Amino acid sequence: MLIPYRACRMLSLSSEQMFDLIADVERYPEFLSLIRQAQIVRRDAHTYETQQTLGLGVMIYRFRTRTELNRPHAIRVTSADWAFRRFEIGWSFTPTPEGHCRVDFTLDCEIRALWLNPFNEVLIAQMGTTMIDAFATRARQLHPAPPL
């Protein structure tokens, strides 16, 4: 059993700002290099389903995810797609006394393709690092820190 990828970052945005940034899935192709397209296909008050296109070099893969929103505390993304044995992304947002946000991120994914099994752990760690770095960079671009 593979261990989920976990990361934690302190960012100088509020929990609400980070929640909104991460919940805005249709903007992901603008700053997440692996995501070629993301379109919400169904939505209700606290969930939405997204059709996503993932690009790994010349390989293109389309899959659906279901996102549960608990504003401004947490976001949970799952997929029942046949390509995954497990697929879950978790985000939690904890405000700090300074008005910043502690972001906890978990990626628990196991790819079903046998030929990818030896690389699964490396791929998940790389995807996790890429995602958390991309969101931190995007947060700084959209909400630059005021000059001292």
CA distance 9 to 57: 28
Q: What are the structural domains, with CATH classification, of the chain?
A: 5-142 (3.30.530.20)
Specify the DSSP element, H or E, that contains 17. helix 15-23
Quick one: what percent of the chain has pLDDT higher than 90?
57
Largest CA distance in the chain: 53
Write down the pLDDT at residue 5.
86
Angle, CA 33 vertex, CA 64 and CA 6 arms, to 5°? 75
Q: Which of 57-61, 87-91, 124-128 has the highest mean pLDDT?
A: 87-91
Structure confidence at residue 119 as a pLDDT band (50, 70, 90): low
